[in-house]
Amino acid sequence: MKSATRLVSAITHYLHRDDTLSLSQLRRLGLIYSSYRFIVSLFSLLMVYITAHADNSLSLPSFLQQTALSFYVLLSLILLGLFYVVNQQMRRQLAFGLALDVIILSLLLYTAGAPDLQLTMLYMVVVAASFMLLHGSQALVITLLAIIFVIYQQFFYAIANSMNLANLGDALLMSASFLAVGGLSWSLSQRLVQLEKVAAKSAKEVERLHVINQEVITQMVNGVIVIDKQQIVLANLAAHQLLSIAHNPSVSLPHVSSFDTKNSQNNHRNARLFNFQQQLNKQHAQLFKACLSVAAGQSRTFTYDLPAGTNASVLDKLRVQIIPLKDDSKLLILEDLRREQASAQQLKLASLGQLTASIAHEIRNPLAAISQASQLLMEEVTESEADSHVMTHTANSDATGNHELYQMIFSQTKRVNRIIEDVLKLSRQQTANQQSIVLTEWMPIFLENYFQGHDVFLRLKTNPTISFDTHQLEQVLINLINNGLRYSSYAHPHAYVEIEIYCADNDVIIDILDSGTGVRLEDLPHLFNPFFTTDQAGTGLGLYLSQAFCEANQARLLYIPEHEKTCFRLIAPVVHSDKHTNNVENNASKGVF
């Protein structure tokens, strides 16, 4: 008893599972079956009249047969139109239509009087469709309804014809066939549903991986371009930035007048790629031709010099690597050589720092002794001059001369000590701890802290964000501003420094300007070399350290001889955030410190 109850419970649970086709598949198959119903009903009605005339019979089909078929054609047309227009309660519409099919076929079977092979085949189609389109319980009800109608009609016919058990046996065999076809159709539909779920899950996973890949490619520092059959099919944001090609999401193709709703995203993407290829052919024709000239299946790596008129003042060269893909397509990887130069600079500083640190510590010990001895000698001379009031003029002259010599020794020891401190700073340089810096907020605070009381004018023409180590940026700007104030004071009585911040392509430009005499042409090749200086009080490590700090943060420090003023230019990549850059042209001074 318990096993039978469990069996019934399992069957009930199995029949009520929601393992049915998706709504899109259900609608498509439902439209096909509704069209099939209308065609079959119309064909049956026509065949009845054609058969009656072919038999040369003067009598028309029975009134019940005519009425059933006419009603069937009308309802089939209504159900087809209703299913096509109304997208809700599709399974209820299908269940009603399948129940109608069973009733009409039973009436036709009753008018035939005996089992008919054609009607039997139509029953099989209805049963199979019910298990394909409906829930298991609904399909089972449709099948049982068909069995009941068939058995009842044949049982009634058998009684009226003196119990012809042969027809009743045929009806029972037909009913068993219904159940077998229904079971097979239901099993097949479940397999199709499972396959559809697996396919949908795989499609979602592929789409998810596609989105992840697109995001990874978009956020890559290196530029990525894919060329297929001389057409660009992929170009990330870094490629636009490195080649100085504007990335305009709203650009459209010249020959596209309107976008289809379903394909609008693909059309916009194709339009952006079309615009990118046009700009690439215009600004970098040499690069594009070099990529196309590489034979299929071959790889190549070369250095590309950016042409004048792009962002050559920001970037000097790009490394281009061409990798062959399948179907004669090519992958282009564009790499900014600034990062490689920064890495090389870090290695050079690390090796130099190990040597200079040990030497600096060894020099500091005797230097401290010399400095202390010179101070003691100066104190001794001062005390002897104070105690002796009867010294001769010659003795006074000797003491004064010795004091000047001691003072010279002491000042030179301080200068050497400054050099050692700069060298130790160089040796202690660590990996840059980059942070996002909003210059409009950071610069005024920096100038307030370090240059209050000096004439330093800040002019902001944009509102950019850069990624830089804040301590290293402070050291760079302090050195450049101090140099500007010192050298401009040599040329003018009123020393001042101007700071201009603006954007060029995808980089932030910080110009440090002063009114000094500038750098001589013969000194330009040695300007950023260590220990090179034109100031007698300088150590020659300030600009070298500043350039090293910039390269450690993927930035550049340049001297611009073409500028009308003495101009040192710091170039750093802009950090793109959700807040768009506000291009505020403001030529007035933002502050005087």
Q: What is the pTM of this model?
A: 0.47
In angstroms, the CA 267 to CA 562 distance is 45
Q: Is the pLDDT of residue 377 over 90?
A: no
Alpha-helix residue ranges (DSSP H) falling in 388-497:
393-427, 439-450, 470-491
Q: Is the pLDDT of residue 208 over 80?
A: yes
Distance of CA 134 to the CA centre of its chain: 43
| Structure tokens given for 302 | 């070369």
Among the residue ranges 83-97, 143-157, 183-197, 389-403, the one predicted with the least confidence is 389-403
In angstroms, the CA 340 to CA 575 distance is 20
Sign of CA dihedral 353, 355, 361, 366: negative
pLDDT at 5: 65
Mean pLDDT of 528-554: 77
Beta bridge partners of 499: 458, 512
- Give the full edge-to-edge strand order of the sheet including 591-592: 556-559, 566-573, 507-514, 497-504, 456-460, 591-592
Q: Which residue has the higher pLDDT, 10 or 2?
A: 2
| Cβ atoms 107, 68 nearer than 8 A | yes
In angstroms, the CA 155 to CA 148 distance is 10
Beta bridge partners of 330: 227, 324
Mean pLDDT score across all residues of the chain: 75
In angstroms, the CA 278 to CA 92 distance is 56
Q: What is the pLDDT of residues 122-178, one digit of tens each?
A: 878 888 888 878 877 777 788 788 777 777 666 655 555 544 555 666 667 777 777
| Cβ atoms 142, 134 nearer than 8 A | yes
| Cβ atoms 97, 41 nearer than 8 A | no
Polymer length of the chain? 593
Q: Is the pLDDT of residue 344 over 70?
A: no
| Structure tokens given for 34 | 């509704």
Mean pLDDT of 73-90: 87
First-last CA distance in the chain: 97
Amino acid identity, residue 400? T
Q: Is the pLDDT of residue 252 over 60?
A: no
pLDDT > 90 in the chain, percent: 6
pLDDT at 498: 93
Mean pLDDT of 272-297: 80
